[in-house]
C-alpha cells in the first residue's frame, strides 16, 4: 500500500510521509524490531522515573499513556492508560523493548520527534501506517542539559477520539522536568566522585584519575610523572574501566617502555554509579622484560592482551630467578599450562616433576624428585591434607637449608581464595613462596579469544572449521565461568556437529546464545535452551516460538530478556 501524498496535511507531516515511503515502511502493518538486553538503568531512566511516577499518578484511570524511549526510539517505560488503551498499544507493539523509529513504523510521535529534533503532535490520520491511525501522540525530545546530546523522547499517547492540543504542552513540560532531574543527579554524582578523588589524592600522594560520565580528571602527580604520550596511553586504557561497577585491575604498556598497573574502584551515590577512581602504579622495565627482551612466544600459550602478557612476564621473571611461586586462579584458567610452558622455555634441559595433591605417595615422590635435582610443581595445593602439608614443610625447609645438590624451582597451583581460607596452607606452606601470581580469568582478557579459538581447534586436529566474525564476537561477550576449559568444550561440541566450513552464530551451542551473568538453575538452563531451539526452528519468530512452547508472547519476550538470549 502507498500513502497518498496529496492529502491536505501539514508540511512537517508531508515530509515525514515522504521519509517513511523512502524507507519502504509497510503502510498497512509495520513490524517494529524488538531488542533484548537493554540497559534500563541509565541516566535518562533514573531521571525520568520520578517524573513519570508523578504524572501517571495524576492520570490514574485516564485514557492517556506516558511512554519513554531512548535516542533510537526503543521504548524503555510505559505507564498509565486504561486497560482498553494498553490492549490497543500491545496490539501494535508499542511496548517496552520495541523500537518506534520513523524508518520502521512511519510517521509517529516518537520516531518523527527524533527525526526532526523537536516536539511534534501526530493526530490520527496523520500517521503513515493504518494501524496507528486510531491513536494521537505527542512526542518531545529529551536532551542532556550539559552536553546537548539527544537522550530520548517523552511521548504522550491516547486514542485519536480523545486527542487534545494540550497533549503536546504536557509532553514538553514532562521532558523539561526530566532534564531538570538530570542536572540534579549529575551535580550529586559529580560531587560524590570528586569527594572520592580528592580523598584518594590526599591519602596516596600518587597518580590518580577520576572517571565519570561528564567528568575526567588526572591529578598533578600523574601529569608530572608521565609524559604526554604515556598519559595518552593511560587515558586510553581507562576506557576498559569506565562504567564498571566492581573493582578492576588493568595493566598498561606505555610508549616510554615502562608498564603501569591501574587499580579501578567504583564510586556510588546510594545505588547509582557515579564513576570511578583509578590509582596508577608504575613498574620498572625489569618487570616487563626477560633477559632484556620482550615476552617471548611460549610453547602452547596463546594470548597477546596486555593483561595476559603481564602475567607471563611475572611467571618468567620468577623462573629466571628460581623464585618459588604460587599460581592462583579460577578453575580452567591455565595455571599449570602456563607454568609448564615457562619451564619448557626457561629450563629446557631440566627435568620437571608435576604431582597432584591427591597423589597418595606425593611426599615420597616429591622428596625423591627434589633429591634427584628435578624441579617440582604441585597441582591443586589447596587440597593438601594437614599431614602432607607438614611433610612438605619439612622437605622445603631441607631444601632451603642447602641439603640438596641444586636448588630446584618449585611452584604450587591453588584456586582463587583457597590459600587464604586453608590456615595450614596459608601459615605453614606459603611462607616458603615469596610470590603469588594471579592467573586472570578468561573474562578479563576476552580479546585473546580469537587466537585461543584458532589454537584450540588446531590442537584438536580440527583444521577445516572456522568461526564467522559474528560467532567470534558472540564468544567475546560471554562470561566464561569455566574459562579456557569451557571454551575448549564449546569448540569440541561445535566441531562434533559441524566438521567443515564456517560456523555462524546460529551454529553455536545454546549456552552461547545467552549473555546473562547470573548462574542458572538446571531447570532454567533447560528452559533457556528450549527457547533458543524454538527461535532457531522458527527463524526468530517469537510469536510462533512462544506457541510451540506453550507460553504467551509476553512471557517469551520476558524470558528472552531475563536469559540474555540473542534473537
CB 152 within 8 A of CB 69: yes
Q: Give the mean model confidence (pLDDT) for residues 481-503.
A: 86
Q: Tell me: the pLDDT tens digits for 211-255? A: 987 778 898 888 877 877 788 889 888 888 888 898 888 888 877
Q: Give the mean model confidence (pLDDT) for residues 268-275.
A: 88
* Pairwise pLDDT comparison (288 vs 382), residue with the higher score: 382
Q: What angle do CA 396, 398, 400 make, to 5 degrees?
A: 70
- What dotted CATH number matches 449-563? 1.10.8.60
pLDDT recorded at residue 289 = 40
Q: Tell me: the pLDDT tens digits for 133-186? A: 999 999 999 998 867 789 999 999 999 988 877 788 889 999 999 998 888 877
Q: Give the mean model confidence (pLDDT) for residues 348-359.
A: 92
Q: Label residue 284 by pLDDT band (50, 70, 90).
A: very low
pLDDT recorded at residue 332 = 92
Torsion of CA 452, 510, 556, 564, to 10 degrees: -20
pLDDT recorded at residue 379 = 94
Residue 425 has pLDDT above 60, yes or no: no
Q: 3-class secondary structure for 496-550?
A: HHCCCEEECHHHCCHHHHECCCCCCCHHHHHHHHHHHHHHHHCCCCHHHHHHHHC
pLDDT recorded at residue 67 = 96
Q: Label residue 288 by pLDDT band (50, 70, 90).
A: very low
Q: What percent of the chain has pLDDT over 90?
A: 36
Q: Tell me: the pLDDT tens digits for 519-541? A: 555 566 667 767 877 887 787 88
Residue 420 has pLDDT above 70, yes or no: no
Coil, strand or helix at 446:
helix
pLDDT recorded at residue 439 = 92
CA 445 to centroid of chain Cα atoms: 12
CB 494 within 8 A of CB 508: yes
Q: Report which of 548, 560, 540, 562 is spatially closest to residue 31, judged by C-alpha positions.
A: 540
**Domains of the chain by residue range:** 11-184, 205-283, 293-440, 449-563
Torsion of CA 178, 183, 187, 188, to 10 degrees: -10
pLDDT recorded at residue 122 = 95
Residue 116 has pLDDT above 50, yes or no: yes
Residues 236-267: b if buried by 16+ CB within 10 A, e if exposed: ebbebbeeeeeebbbbbbbeeebbbebebebb
pLDDT recorded at residue 34 = 93
CA 54 to centroid of chain Cα atoms: 33
C-alpha cell read off for 491: 569448540
The 10 Å Cβ neighbour count of residue 402 is 8
Q: Label residue 290 by pLDDT band (50, 70, 90).
A: very low
- Tell the CATH topology of 11-184: Beta-Lactamase (3.30.450)
pLDDT recorded at residue 566 = 63
Q: Give the mean model confidence (pLDDT) for residues 422-438.
A: 74
Q: Label residue 291 by pLDDT band (50, 70, 90).
A: very low
Q: Label residue 293 by pLDDT band (50, 70, 90).
A: very low
- What dotted CATH number matches 293-440? 3.40.50.300
Average pLDDT, the chain: 84
CB 211 within 8 A of CB 242: yes
CB 236 within 8 A of CB 253: no
Amino acid at each position: 500500500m502507498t500513502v497518498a501524498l496529496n492529502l491536505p496535511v501539514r508540511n512537517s507531516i508531508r515530509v515525514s510521509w515522504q521519509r517513511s515511503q523512502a524507507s519502504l515502511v509497510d503502510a498497512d502493518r509495520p513490524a517494529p524490531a524488538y531488542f533484548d538486553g537493554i540497559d534500563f538503568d541509565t541516566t535518562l531512566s533514573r531521571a525520568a522515573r520520578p517524573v513519570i511516577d508523578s504524572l501517571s499518578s495524576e492520570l490514574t484511570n485516564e485514557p492517556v499513556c506516558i511512554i519513554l524511549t531512548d535516542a533510537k526510539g526503543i521504548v524503555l517505560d510505559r505507564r498509565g492508560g486504561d486497560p482498553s488503551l494498553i490492549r490497543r498499544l500491545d496490539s501494535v507493539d508499542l511496548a517496552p523493548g520495541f523500537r518506534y523509529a520513523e524508518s520502521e513504523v512511519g510517521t509517529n510521535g516518537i520516531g518523527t520527534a527524533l527525526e526532526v529534533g523537536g516536539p511534534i503532535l501526530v493526530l490520527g490520520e496523520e500517521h503513515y501506517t493504518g494501524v496507528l491511525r486510531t491513536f494521537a501522540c505527542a512526542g518531545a525530545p529529551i536532551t542532556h542539559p550539559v552536553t546537548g546530546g539527544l537522550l530520548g523522547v517523552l511521548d504522550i499517547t491516547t486514542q485519536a477520539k480523545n486527542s487534545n492540543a494540550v497533549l503536546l504542552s504536557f509532553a514538553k513540560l514532562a521532558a523539561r522536568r526530566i532534564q531538570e532531574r538530570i542536572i540534579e543527579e549529575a551535580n550529586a554524582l559529580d560531587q560524590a566522585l570528586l569527594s572520592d578523588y580528592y580523598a584518594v589524592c590526599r591519602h596516596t600522594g600518587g597518580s590518580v584519575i577520576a572517571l565519570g560520565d561528564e567528568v575526567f580528571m588526572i591529578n598533578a602527580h600523574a601529569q608530572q610523572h608521565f609524559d604526554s604520550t604515556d598519559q595518552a596511553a593511560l587515558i586510553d586504557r581507562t576506557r576498559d574501566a569506565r562504567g564498571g561497577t566492581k573493582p578492576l585491575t588493568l595493566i598498561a604498556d606505555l610508549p616510554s617502555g615502562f608498564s603501569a598497573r591501574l587499580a579501578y574502584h567504583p564510586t556510588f551515590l546510594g545505588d547509582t554509579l557515579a564513576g570511578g577512581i583509578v590509582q596508577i602504579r608504575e613498574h620498572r622495565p625489569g618487570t616487563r622484560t626477560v633477559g632484556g627482551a620482550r615476552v617471548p612466544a611460549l610453547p602452547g600459550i596463546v594470548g597477546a592482551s596486555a593483561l595476559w602478557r603481564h602475567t607471563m612476564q611475572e611467571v618468567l621473571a620468577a623462573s629466571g630467578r628460581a623464585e618459588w611461586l604460587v599460581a592462583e586462579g579460577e578453575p580452567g584458567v591455565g595455571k599449570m599450562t602456563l607454568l609448564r610452558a615457562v619451564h619448557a622455555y626457561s629450563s629446557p634441559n631440566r627435568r620437571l616433576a608435576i604431582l597432584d595433591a591427591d597423589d597418595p605417595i606425593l611426599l615420597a615422590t616429591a622428596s625423591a624428585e627434589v633429591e634427584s635435582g628435578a624441579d617440582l610443581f604441585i597441582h591443586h595445593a589447596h587440597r593438601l591434607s594437614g599431614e602432607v602439608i607438614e611433610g612438605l614443610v619439612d622437605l622445603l625447609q631441607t631444601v632451603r637449608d642447602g641439603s640438596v645438590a641444586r636448588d630446584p624451582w618449585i611452584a604450587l597451583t591453588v584456586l582463587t581464595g583457597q590459600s587464604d581460607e586453608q590456615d595450614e596452607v596459608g601459615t605453614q606452606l606459603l611462607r616458603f613462596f615469596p610470590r603469588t601470581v594471579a592467573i586472570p580469568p578468561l573474562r578479563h582478557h576476552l580479546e585473546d579469544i580469537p587466537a585461543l579459538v584458532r589454537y584450540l581447534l588446531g590442537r584438536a586436529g580440527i583444521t577445516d572449521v572456522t568461526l564467522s566474525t559474528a560467532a567470534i564476537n558472540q564468544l567475546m561477550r560471554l562470561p566464561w565461568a569455566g574459562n579456557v576449559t569451557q571454551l575448549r568444550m564449546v569448540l569440541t561440541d561445535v566441531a562434533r556437529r559441524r566438521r567443515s566450513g564456517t560456523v555462524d552464530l546460529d551454529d553455536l551451542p545454546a549456552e552461547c546464545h545467552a549473555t546473562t551473568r547470573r548462574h542458572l538453575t538446571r531447570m532454567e538452563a533447560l528452559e533457556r535452551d528450549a527457547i533458543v531451539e524454538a527461535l532457531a526452528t522458527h527463524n526468530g519468530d517469537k510469536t510462533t516460538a512462544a506457541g510451540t512452547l506453550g507460553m504467551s508472547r509476553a512471557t517469551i519476550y520476558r524470558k528472552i530478556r531475563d536469559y540474555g538470549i540473542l534473537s
